[in-house]
Structures are given as structure tokens and as C-alpha cells.
Amino acid sequence: MNDRKVRVRFAPSPTGPLHIGGVRTALYNYLFAKQNGGDFIFRLEDTDSNRFVEGAEEYILESFRWLGIKFDEGVSFGGNYGPYRQSERREIYKKYVKILLDADKAYIAFDTPEELDKKRAEIENFQYDASTRLSMRNSLSMPAEEVQALIDGGHKYVVRFKIEPGEKVVVNDIIRGVVTIDSSILDDKVLYKSADELPTYHLANIVDDHLMEVTHVIRGEEWLPSAPLHVLLYRAFGWEDTMPAFAHLSLLLKPEGNGKLSKRDGDKLGFPVFPLEWKDPATGAISSGYRESGYLPEAVVNFLALLGWNPGDDVEMMDVEELIKKFDLTHCSKAGARFDYKKMIWFNHEYIIKKSDEEVAEMFAPVVESHGVSVDAATLTKIVSLMKGRVNFVHELWEASNFYFIAPESYDEKTVKKRWKADSAVKMTELAALLESLDDFSIENQEKEVKAWIESKEYSLGEIMNAFRLALVGEGKGPQMFDISGIIGKEETLARLKKAVEVLG
Ligand code: GLU
């Protein structure tokens, strides 16, 4: 077992957009694969045609492309273990169903849904298992000829796993330790349905993990109840020696209150629960995504990595390379992880600061353009360098810095009351004259000359700067004054001063 190459898989069912919990599962698989020099497989578990949703496969792939989570093989990537879509592996599953039937480890059952409902109504807590199966319509209770006749007659049937009662089933989980159960509590799960000639999740999942030589099954807590059944299936096939190790990750919990994180929490508190925006093909309803909401993929990855694991020190900012180095599956928490979306916003803020000004300016440029403003890259980069520390999202840079591009059309009333004094118009006119006389309009020179003028006139620095800001920005916000006038330039600075004097008097 130890000398096997690490191979893990992410195996979603294409039933809709990928939930953020699924993204974390994939990320942990990816980190684990990379740190062990292993392979990461993308398998599509699409055997339940009733739940198939158009576009889900492409959505999932696009999500991982955006996040920078890379697969080594699988659907759309190729590889030596394909096909990787379960719907294309029917013949393989049929072969393994037959193996179980021939070994008397599975049986054929004809009970209709109505018959099963009737039983459930008759018997309290009815379970299809060793205690009831002989009273049902199946190949264990019926003569072989009758079974064959029904099959030949085209009757629909299922294949059920024949679970022997009273067996000890041990699930060895990397995160949760050893869980032992008695096989008597399990029911004879359906493994295959003749109606669509497809296996159920359980059979396909085990057969594929085996054939694809998966070494570790890292998945969400919701699959923990299936694990004993999976162990028994490995046993039934005689594959115990190469059975993958299990690691069931903790649940993602609501940001506040109790219970599992849901889409409603996101809607209520204003954060997405999907990586990309999703348009429901049936209803047309749109759900927000992290990408479209302005989150950086690095921030999402960093945040998710720390939901249920931490490196044991106080370091929080970690890029993928560092995460690959430090991630430790054995130290993942089995307690649920509260989805602190405010922390994710904090990460976004930190990653904007960490990015180069040029890069953020490039991301900001289309936003500026969408407001009908054109500005050269160097100026935009300068503005970004002054403003990026003040925002959580790149698009917020517009609100924070639009005064660089557009002269104020009105002046904030409160600020006017507080900052525009009876003599402000006179002083701003003097300031305009001084600035007009400057040949060197650099930030440094403006600062030097203006301060000297204030001193010589014995004006108050605060008073001048407040009125100056109101004239240039229209309100009380923004960086250092000369970082504003220096960037918008002499002509624009003078025009704005003149207008403020005219309007505010
Ligand atoms: N198809 C399952 C899912 O949608 C896979 C669970 C597993 O990883 O075994 O998550």
C-alpha cells in the first residue's frame, strides 16, 4: 500500500453549480496530491440521469480553471484510466455487477416501488436486509426459473448488495479515527438498476476508485454514512489490500447560528456560495458567484484552505505553493468549520494590497472604462498605488477614487458646513493664483510652496487643506491633497478651485 503512487480524485455529480464546500473538498485533494507528488483525477459521477443538469460539467471545470486548481487526468484532461464520465462506463459496471451476482454477494430484486411502500407501511422501520429479504420478491426467495422468466419477459429489476448481518465493519478515517459498526444496521443497498442499465453511486464509486487506483478518498462529511457500505463492497470484491484510505472532511457551518451552511445564509448576509455565477437552466434564476462578485481566486483558495485546517502557527496569508508545503490531512479538524465570510473579505483586501499596482490597475481599467473615462496606464497605476489599501474589492476603487477622473458636480452639504468658511473663497482664490504661478507642479514642489505660503500668511494648515479638499473632491475623503492635485494636474486643479469658489462663494 505504501509504495503506491498517491492518487486522489474529485468526483462531483453534475447536478448544478458546485457548492463552495465542494470547492474546499477539491482543494484539499489537490493540495494533498501535489505535496505527495501524486495525481489528481477529475471524475464525473453522472449515473443519476434524473438529477443531471445541463451545463454543470462545464461550470465545474471553469470554476477550477479560475481558481487555479489543476487536474492531472480526467474528464477533459485525458489519462490512462478513462473514460472518466461514469455514464460512459456502463459495460464496466455490468461486468462487476455480474461478478457479485455470480459470487452470491448480490441478488436480483423485482419489488416495485408500490410493493416497497406497502411493506414500509406494514412494518415499522422496515429495512430491506437479512431479516426481511426472504419475504420480498427477489432471486433469494423465488425459484431460479421464475427469476429468469421475469428477466426474459423484460421485467425491471434492481441488483441489491447482500449484506451478511453480524459482521464487524471497520472504517479507518484519517481525520476521524477508527469507526466500527455492525453490518446488521445496514440495508441491502441497490447497486444497479436494469431500467437505465446504470449502477448506483455506491457501486460505480467503488469500482472506479479501484480501477483508477485511487489511494485516498478525501470527501465531505455527508459521505461518512456510506463508508461502511463501501468497506463491505471492497471486501466483497476481494480488494481490501488496495482499499483507499478515507478522510471525511468537516462540515461547513453557518456564519452565525447553528447548522450547515446554505445558499440562504449567503443570500441573507450577502455573500456567494458558488465559485462562479450560475444561471439555473430550468428557472433562469441567477445565483451570485465569487468571481463575478470581485473576489480574487487567491483569496478564495487561501480562505478555503483554512476552513477546517490550520498550519498550527499564526500565519494566515499563504499562497498555493506554501499551502502545498504545509497542508496536513492528519491535522484537519473533524468539528465543523464556521463559514466566516468576513474573513474572506479580509483576505480579498490583503491580496489586493499584495498584488502589484500594475496588476491591480489592469483589473481596474475596465471598470474605469465602463464609466466612460479614459486614462493612461501610468496614471491609473499611480492612483491604484494610493488607493488600493482602502478597498476590499477592485471595483470599489471606482467609488473610492472617482474624484481623480471626474470633477465634483456637487459638494457634500455636511462637509461644506464644517469646512467652507466665510473667507474660504478668498483663500482658495489666493491658492489658485499661487498654484498657477508654479512651473514645477510636482507633488514635492507644490507641498513646499503651499506650506511656505500658508506660513507666511499665518493661515491654518488644516483650514486651507480642508477647503482645498472640498474643492477638488467634493467631500471630505481621499488621500493627501498633493497626491490628488499632482495627479489631476495643474489645469484641472485650477478649474476645480475656480468652480468651488463660484458655487460655494
Ligand atoms: N459523487 C459524489 C459527490 O457528488 C462523490 C462522493 C465521493 O467523493 O465519494 O460528491
Predicted local confidence at residue 52, as pLDDT: 86
Do both 379 and 486 map to the same domain?
no
390 domain-assigned: yes
**342 counts as catalytic:** no
Ligand 1 within 6 A of 205 CB?
yes
Do both 95 and 158 map to the same domain?
yes
Cα 287 to averaged position of ligand 1 atoms, centre (Å) = 23
Structure-model confidence comparison of residues 505 and 427, the more confident one: 427
Q: Which domain holds residue 110?
A: 89-249
Number of domains in the chain: 3
Q: How many Cα atoms sit within 13 Å of 247 on the Cβ side?
A: 24
Q: Which atom in ligand 1 lies closest to the alpha carbon of residue 15?
A: 4
Do both 470 and 362 map to the same domain?
no
Domain boundary among 206, 223, 249: 249
Do both 396 and 483 map to the same domain?
no
Do both 379 and 494 map to the same domain?
no
343 domain-assigned: no
Predicted local confidence at residue 3, as pLDDT: 82
Mean pLDDT of the chain: 96
Residues 402 and 406: their CA atoms lie apart, in Å, by 6
Which residue's C-alpha comes closest to atom 3 of ligand 1? 12
Q: Does the pLDDT at position 95 exceed 70?
A: yes
pLDDT digit string, tens, across residues 366-398: 999 999 999 999 999 999 999 999 999 999 999
CATH classification of the domain holding 460? 1.10.10.350
Do both 244 and 148 map to the same domain?
yes
Helix axes 227-237, 201-211, angle to 10 degrees: 60
- Tell me the C-alpha to C-alpha distance, in Å, between residue 446 and each of 155, 429, 434, 439: 91, 16, 9, 10
pLDDT digit string, tens, across residues 156-201: 999 999 999 999 999 999 999 999 999 999 999 999 999 999 999 9
Cα 236 to averaged position of ligand 1 atoms, centre (Å) = 21
Predicted local confidence at residue 49, as pLDDT: 80
Do both 365 and 490 map to the same domain?
no
Domain boundary among 338, 369, 404: 404
Domain boundary among 220, 249, 278: 249
CATH classification of the domain holding 218? 3.90.800.10
- Tell me the C-alpha to C-alpha distance, in Å, between residue 163 and each of 116, 157, 166: 19, 18, 9
Do both 372 and 450 map to the same domain?
no
The mean per-residue pLDDT over the stretch 82-106 comes to: 97
- Would the CA dihedral through 311, 316, 319, 322 be positive or negative? negative
181 domain-assigned: yes
Do both 94 and 241 map to the same domain?
yes
Cβ–Cβ < 8 Å for 253, 260:
yes
Cα 45 to averaged position of ligand 1 atoms, centre (Å) = 7
Ligand 1 within 6 A of 237 CB?
no
pLDDT digit string, tens, across residues 265-291: 999 999 999 999 999 999 999 999 999
Q: Does the pLDDT at position 51 exceed 90?
A: no
386 domain-assigned: yes
**Which alpha helices (H) appear in 274-356, and where do they start and end?**
297-305, 320-326, 341-354
Q: Does the pLDDT at position 438 exceed 90?
A: yes
pLDDT digit string, tens, across residues 218-273: 999 999 999 999 999 999 999 999 999 999 999 999 998 789 999 999 999 999 99
CATH classification of the domain holding 363? 1.10.8.70
Ligand 1 within 6 A of 138 CB?
no
284 domain-assigned: no
Ligand 1 within 6 A of 496 CB?
no
Instruction: Please confirm whether the linkage preceding 83 is cis (ω < 30° from 0).
Output: yes
Cα 64 to averaged position of ligand 1 atoms, centre (Å) = 17
265 domain-assigned: no
Q: For every residue of 121-187, which 3-state class applies, written as one string?
A: HHCCCCCCCCCCHHHCCECCCCCHHHHHHHHHCCCCCEEEECCCCCCEEEEEECCCEEEEEEHHHCC
pLDDT digit string, tens, across residues 291-348: 999 999 999 999 999 999 999 898 999 999 999 999 999 999 999 999 999 999 999 9
Do both 111 and 234 map to the same domain?
yes
Cell 511656505 sits on residue:
452
Predicted local confidence at residue 2, as pLDDT: 59
323 domain-assigned: no
Do both 161 and 231 map to the same domain?
yes
The mean per-residue pLDDT over the stretch 486-490 comes to: 95
Do both 121 and 241 map to the same domain?
yes
Number of helices (H), then strands (E), belonging to the chain: the values are 19, 15
> What amino acid is encoded at 193 in this protein?
K
Predicted local confidence at residue 209, as pLDDT: 98
The catalytically annotated residue of 70, 119, 193, 263 is 263
Cβ–Cβ < 8 Å for 269, 313:
no
203 domain-assigned: yes
DSSP labels, 223-263: GGGGHHHHHHHHHHHT-GGGPPEEEEEPPEEPSSSSSB--H
